[in-house]
Amino acid sequence: MATALVNGKVLVDDGLREGLAVLVDGNRIAAVLRDDDARVRDADLQDLRGGTLLPGFIDAQVNGGGGVLFNNAPTVGAIETIARAHRRFGTTGLLPTLISDDVEVMHAAIAAVREAIARGVPGVLGIHLEGPYLAAARKGTHDAGKFRVPDAAEIELATSLGDGVTLLTLAPEQVPADSIRALAERGAIVAAGHTAASYEQVRTGLDAGVRGFTHLYNAMTPLQGREPGAVGAALEDRDSWCGIIVDGVHVHPASLRVALAAKSRGKLFLVTDAMPPVGADSPDYVLYGETITARDGVVRNAAGALAGSALDMASAVRNAVTMLGLPLEEAARMASLYPAQFLGLDGTRGRIAPGYHADLVLLDDDLDVATTWIAGQPL
């Protein structure tokens, strides 16, 4: 029997609407219809108790969660733990993210994600390789000793996942344009990040196949009057997407509002850059052999560099409403539809519409997560 989700506000393409029912049959949305439709009466009713039903959140940058860092445990079990931890906060789709590491760790991580997808681990959409083809001058918390330029074998490795999305962050000035082009032609979504590139170098990367920017403003050359830098190139370019971390720490809210004004609607999306403390009891984790502690929601290494975040997607959505002044509908799209578009998944994810995956999140009046569904299965 199909399930009808009723008595809530539903985010559809033209905004939040009351008086609708979402009919879920198996792992898909069968219909969105008036709640007095006969098909609703024939279904198993689930009362949303006046909550707000949104498309499930999609996070393209998840380094860890539930006490686990993907680099330290590139296994299917670790992926399951990370995905389960983030699901509590409305994330129904994510890319486990490997920061710069040795080639053997890359092999293991890609193999683990491939196996997780084959086993149907809930929420796993692919992999994000954040490095190791980055710039030492903008390394952030990455280990510059791992940085290198990809040869043909590494290009083949980086694009070897098969099923699922591969997102690859690189510094365009460190990677030849032909190599960027080869990565894109082999199916990788290429983003610029941890880059010391000039505006002109970023433009060369965009022309070669760069489609987005990783954590806009962070670990990239800033916008200045006579040198637009990577930030200027990102804000000017109409076709590229930018991930943003809305935690009040990584980027000042005013700078994010500038980005919202500059970019076309739909080209900014929320990411967490989450580390193991999300969904865990302990604020501590180990990165490159160093113990790091999240303090008051801020994660820094001993050198003072931001080391990811302790942000979850539900908090990112709330922050987009309270810090940036966005309507909930737009904040929710920045966590669902827009990342789905960036990842090429918007034909099946990111909307509440017939035929789409029944990946959903229910928020209460405080915008806290009450329930999530992945493939029609509630948590």
Let me know how long the chain is: 379
Token pair of 149, please?
């330029």
56-342 falls under which CATH superfamily? Metal-dependent hydrolases (3.20.20.140)
Cβ proximity of 314 and 331 under 8 Å? no
Select which of 35, 143, 273, 346 is catalytic. 273
Per-domain boundaries in the chain: 3-54+354-378, 56-342
- Tell me, yes or no, if the pTM score tops 0.95: yes
Q: Which residues lie below 8 Å from residue 73, measured CB to CB, with a gap of 6+?
A: none
**pLDDT, position 306:** 87
DSSP reduced 3-state for 12: strand
Other CB atoms within 10 Å distance of the CB of residue 225: 6
Residues 257, 251: Cα–Cα separation, whole Å: 10
Q: What is the pLDDT of residue 305?
A: 86
Exposure of 90 in the CB half-sphere (CA atoms within 13 A): 30
The sheet that has 290-295: what strands, in order across it?
284-287, 290-295, 298-299
| Cβ pair 156, 196 in contact under 8 A | no
Provide the mean pLDDT of the chain: 97
Residue-by-residue pLDDT tens, the chain, 379 positions:
899 999 999 999 999 999 999 999 999 999 999 999 999 999 999 999 999 999 999 999 999 999 999 999 999 999 999 999 999 999 999 999 999 999 999 999 999 999 999 999 999 999 999 999 999 999 999 999 999 999 999 999 999 999 999 999 999 999 999 999 999 999 999 999 999 999 999 999 999 999 999 999 999 999 999 999 999 999 999 999 999 999 999 999 999 999 999 999 999 999 999 999 999 999 999 999 999 999 888 998 888 888 999 999 999 999 999 999 999 999 999 999 999 999 999 999 999 999 999 999 999 999 999 999 999 999 8
Told to judge if 273 belongs to the known catalytic residues of this protein, a careful annotator would answer yes
Considering only CA atoms, give the Rg of the chain.
20
The position carrying tokens 């445990």 is 73
Strands 64-65 vs 377-378: parallel, antiparallel or unpaired: unpaired
Contact (CB, 8 A) for 170 and 180: yes
For 290-327, how does the pLDDT look when each residue is reduced to its tens digit (9 = 90+)? 999 998 889 988 888 889 999 999 999 999 999 999 99
Strand partners, 129: 98, 168
CATH dotted code for 3-54+354-378:
2.30.40.10
